[in-house]
Every structure is written in C-alpha cells, then in structure tokens.
Amino acid sequence: MGGYAKKGILDRLAQGPVIGDGGFVFALEKRGYVKAGPWTPEVNIEHPQAVLQLHREFLRAGSDVMQAFTFYASDDKLENRGNEAQQKYSGAAINKAGCDLAKDVASEGDALVLGGICQTPSYLSGLGKDAVQNEFRKQISVFVENGVDFLLCEYFEHIEEMEWAIEVCKETSLPVAASMCIGPEGDLHNVSTGQCAVRMAKAGADIVGINCHFDPDTSLKGMALMKVALAEAGLKPYLMVQPLAFHTPDAGKQGFIDLPEFPFALEPRICTRWDMHKYARDAFNMGVRYIGGCCGFEPYHIRAVAEELAAERGKVPRGSEKHDPWGGGLMMHTKPWVRARAHRSYWESLKPSSGQPYSAALSQPDGWGVTAGNKLLEQQKEVTPGSGPTTIGDCNGSVSA
C-alpha cells in the first residue's frame, strides 16, 4: 500500500506483546525437508513451498514476526562434517532465499521480517573473533540488502560469541534482538544467566532473553534471573523468550540436547496448547513482551499464545476461526461425554497421561562436559569417520565421536 509505513519492532513492543514464530528446524525435519544433524536451511532453495507454507501457518496462528529461515546458515556451518549445502548452493543464496520467503508471507499480513544469526563452528573450533565475525558479517549483509526489519542473534551458549555477534549487528542501523540458549545455570563458560543479560544489553541489544534448550517453566526461571540483573545494572532492554515446546525438568546445563531422547524421541514431552496459555500469561506477567517459541513449537502452540493474549492485543488470530476458546468447539461433537469437555476448567485442570506404561517420568542427561575449544567440537569438512548407517538396510554402523 502506497505510503504505508509498517510499525517497527520497538514501537510494537512499546505498545504491547509481540508474538514470535515457532521452531522451523524441528517442524521441517518432521515434514522431511531438513536433515537432523546438520539442521541447515538449504530447503529455502530445494523446497521453497514448504517454507512458505510453514510461514503462512505461523502467520495465521498469530505470529507478528516472520523469521527468515537462516538458522545455521553461516558458510562454515554449511560445509561442516560432510555438509554439501555451501558447495551446492552457497550461504549467500540460502540466506537470500530465506529473506525472500519470509518477506513474501509477511506482506500477506502485518508481520515484520527478521534476519537471524546463531552460533558458529568457527567459534567452537577456537578460530577467534575475526573469523567468527566474518561469518556473521556475510549473513548480516544479505539481511540488510534484502530489507529485513530487525536482526536477531539467537541460540548462543557462550556470551563471548554473542557479544561478537551483537557487535557486527550494531554496524547496521537496525534494531537488535539477542537470546541465549541457556537456562538458570548460565552459559557454558560459567557466566551467570543474569550477567549474560547485562552483557547482551551493554553490547547494544535492544531486546534480550532466552531461546531453545529448555521448556517454558525453566526458561522463565532464567528470564527472572535476567530481569533482576538488568534492574540492578539500571538497564531496560525489552525482554524476549522463545522456549522449547518440550517438557525438560530433567535437563542439565546444556538443555535438551543432552537428554537421551534428543532429537528423535521427544514426543512424550510435547507441551499441550493449554501449557502454552499458562506460559504466555506467566511471561506477560513477568514483563516479557516478545513471546514466541523454538524447537517443538508448532503453529497451534503459537495460536494458544495469541489466544491467551487476545485481550492485550485486541485481536484473535485468523486460525481461531477453527478453534473456539478453550475447546468450545467440542459442543458440536456427536458424543455427550466429549461435549462435556468443552470448557476451560476441564482442560486447565487435566494432567494428561503419556500413554507409555514402561517409560520413566525423567531421564538421565548425558554429561560429556565438552564445549568451545574441545577437539571433539572442532569443525571439519570431511564426514565424521565411522559415520552412522548410510542406507536403511545398514543399521549396524558404529559411530565414533
């Protein structure tokens, strides 16, 4: 529309809650378009319709932000441990395609477009600040060329690398959001959760918080620590949180990737839409104003966040056309006992069973305790020796670290 100026992220946060989108790598992996392991977004080029559809589902569910699918799209990651995406398509093309797809769908609603960067193999390999910032700069330049509305540094587990990322983002004039994949125990170099928030804000981030690795409850415990530390430091960035949609009370410091169920047997841990009502309300009451999701978050989870905050936002998402509040649509069911469940008190008080009689309630996380600088994490182009099975029939492959 001529002369129509989309309201920017900071103006929107000043007026009330902004709803993020959900977990692209997990959702597209389940749909057969992203490979677990590398988790890289070459699908933007290989199957753009799949990415468009997922963006559209999140827009319909109430997302105010279309995050370009650029996660793990740094050149070094796209050629790490046998990945051919860099050589086949190039990081620049994958990032640009991600921006184009996000912009296409954002224009179908009043959504903003976000360009995101994340942790790099170069950092884990100890290549140093210049090499790491060079990887970030290549992605950020594509985002600026393609007119994204703001930038996100997400999924960092070392505050040092996060600060380097924010520094590169601040070379632009765009608002910067920053979220660490940490819980209440702090980052992997033992910097406290609160101090990570202070350092993100001092590095220049306008919005700071937590994403991934932990469930809503644990993530909000981390956010509470961030809020206190920021207040003590006299800093007032906006707060953001985008947790997992998996229950992880048994996760250690590294979060869900240390759980034995990661990544292919997390289904019993999936949060219900009703869990997301509680999450959204708790986050809003804590003063968090950017409320979204990460791995495991499907559009119906985001719709629940949007429905819980409908009064604050003055609207319900279009996806609520097919979802009366709190299950009210069940009044149209043929069976009376199902109709009897068409109300809030039933779903809010239900403690759903897992249906897995031989499953433990909790697992014992792996605890390899390795992080940046350890040889096991170093980047390499070659496929990891002793790799797993390469065909369905060959399932006896033994994998070395």
Chain residues that interact with ligand CBH, rule: CB under 6 A:
23-25, 39, 67, 71, 154-155, 212, 257, 294-295
Within residues 275-304, the interface with Zn ion by CB under 5 A covers: 294-295
Determine contact, residues 12/286, Cβ cutoff 8 Å.
Answer: no
The DSSP bridge partners found for residue 178 are 153, 208
Structure tokens at 386: 């002793």
Please, what is the minimum distance in Å from the beta carbon of residue 294 to Zn ion?
3
Of ligand CBH, Zn ion, none, which one does residue 156 interact with (CB within 5 to 8 Å by kind)? none
Of the pair 216, 327, the CB lying nearest Zn ion is at 216
Q: Build a one-symbol-per-residue string for 211-240: x at contacts with Zn ion by CB under 5 A, - elsewhere.
A: -x----------------------------
Of the pair 88, 221, the CB lying nearest Zn ion is at 221
Please, what is the minimum distance in Å from the beta carbon of residue 357 to ligand CBH?
30
Of the pair 57, 229, the CB lying nearest ligand CBH is at 57
Of the pair 71, 279, the CB lying nearest ligand CBH is at 71
Of ligand CBH, Zn ion, none, which one does residue 225 interact with (CB within 5 to 8 Å by kind)? none
Q: How many CB atoms lie within 10 A of CB 106?
A: 24
Within residues 316-355, the interface with Zn ion by CB under 5 A covers: none
> Furthest-apart CA pair in the chain: how many Å?
66
Structure tokens at 370: 């390795």
Cα 5 to its chain centre, rounded Å, is 27
Of the pair 9, 212, the CB lying nearest Zn ion is at 212
Of ligand CBH, Zn ion, none, which one does residue 164 interact with (CB within 5 to 8 Å by kind)? none
Structure tokens at 365: 């996380």
Of the pair 294, 304, the CB lying nearest ligand CBH is at 294
**116 vs 175: CA distance, rounded Å:** 12
Q: Closest by alpha carbon to 21, among 125, 131, 105, 129?
A: 105
Determine contact, residues 207/178, Cβ cutoff 8 Å.
Answer: yes
Please, what is the minimum distance in Å from the beta carbon of residue 212 to Zn ion?
3
Q: Closest by alpha carbon to 21, among 54, 65, 57, 51?
A: 65
Residue 253's contacts (CB-CB under 8 Å, 6 or more residues apart) are 182, 183, 185, 186, 188
Please, what is the minimum distance in Å from the beta carbon of residue 289 to Zn ion?
20
Please, what is the minimum distance in Å from the beta carbon of residue 83 to ligand CBH?
12
**385 vs 387: CA distance, rounded Å:** 5
Binding site for Zn ion (CB under 5 A): 212, 294-295
